[in-house]
Amino acid sequence: MQFLQFALTRAFMALVTLLTVSLIVFTLMELVPGSCAERYLAFKNTQGSQITIEDIEAEERRLGLDRPFVERWVGWVGNVFIRGEFGDSCILRLDINQLLADKFWISLGICMAALILSYAIAVPIGIISAKSTNAWTNNSLRLVSYLGLALPNFLLALIIMLFSTVMFGDSLTGLFSNEYRDAPWSWEKFQDFLSRAWLPIFILGWSATAFALQTVRALMLDEIGKLYVTAAAARGVTGARLLWRYPARHALGPVINSLGFDLNRIFNELPIVALILTLTEAGALLFESLARSNDQQLAGAIIFLLTASIVLLNFVTDILLAVLDPRVRRGLMG
């Protein structure tokens, strides 16, 4: 009962967050100069139309741009939440849902894979390295994680591309080889995708791993010297059992909590990497729509989807933590 109440409260808070985010995204979309009506009419001008101020106003009415800000926001949010529709991109004049199609899922997949990869490496290695006294292991781990933190992703991508172009004559760009580009999803297409997607996953995963590794290690070092660990050791608990059951359990709480934050960080880095590797996914599309083509509707849709994923992930980790640790439930409910 208490758990259900906790979950419902959390879900409600997630929804409120999402609505607030949608308001911010929508406001940002509005700040960009030039309305969709003007853009659309500039295109119609190619059809030989005469465009007058009245035409622009009529088009604004048709697109509902003359209505008050709040009303338009409610309309946009309503469409997104109820029908899952983001409307049309006014630069490309195509339905955004169709334009994004699998692209967003591909981006999310790449980010999640990078996230999982980094935690799968960082958690065990971080714990072990905190305990390890072997100078060589510690130093090489430190070197790898400092490189991951210090090497900008775009530079890493460029270095790997250059290396591959010179050595193998393949620039490693794109997400699919030509024959699978427009093919429907199949096992073969997925394999083809993996044969290319490993590179962005690796690049994004490296820096994320480095970050997570240092966090886990620091948290472990904090916990490992605490009295309850010594007490447990005194009771005869040793080795891996001691590590996992005592300091690690406490150290991992904050790590799980930061999953949403890490996803956000990885996604932030995705557009630059995607642009360099010419991945045709949502990150590159986001960069292009924001920086190059001024496509507010499209950028808004991608940012909203991304935030929704982060909010959802946070919700899931909250629930997960609550399941693992009853104090969290009580903490929220007072």
In contact, 286 and 8? CB cutoff 8 Å: no
Assess 159 for contact with another protein (CB under 8 A).
no
Tell which one of 1, 136, 227, 292 touches another protein (CB under 8 A): 292
CA proximity to 209, closest of 247, 153, 163: 153
Query: Is residue 290 within a helix (H) or strand (E), and if so which, with residue range?
Result: none
Between 41 and 311, name the residue whose CB sits nearer to another protein. Answer: 41
Between 168 and 187, name the residue whose CB sits nearer to another protein. Answer: 168
| Measured distance CA(265)–CA(245) in Å, rounded | 30
Q: Which residues of 297-328 are buried (b: 16+ CB within 10 A; e: fewer)?
A: bbbbbbbbbbbbbbbebbbebbbebbeeeeeb
Using the structure block, give the residue that is written with the tokens 């106003």.
Answer: 57
Assess 186 for contact with another protein (CB under 8 A).
no
Window of 40-48, 73-81, 141-149, 307-315 that interacts with another protein by CB under 8 A = 40-48
Assess 178 for contact with another protein (CB under 8 A).
yes
Assess 92 for contact with another protein (CB under 8 A).
yes
3-state helix, strand, coil in the chain (%, to 5): 80, 0, 20
Greatest CA separation for the chain = 87
Between 47 and 133, name the residue whose CB sits nearer to another protein. Answer: 47
| Number of residues forming the site for another protein (CB under 8 A) | 38
Identify the DSSP state of 245: I
Assess 52 for contact with another protein (CB under 8 A).
yes
Between 3 and 43, name the residue whose CB sits nearer to another protein. Answer: 43
Assess 51 for contact with another protein (CB under 8 A).
yes
Between 2 and 165, name the residue whose CB sits nearer to another protein. Answer: 165
Assess 278 for contact with another protein (CB under 8 A).
yes
Using the structure block, give the residue that is written with the tokens 């997960």.
Answer: 320
In the complex, the residues that contact another protein under the rule CB under 8 A are 33-34, 38-39, 41-43, 45-53, 91-92, 94, 98-99, 161, 165, 169-171, 173, 178, 181-182, 275, 278, 280, 288, 292-295
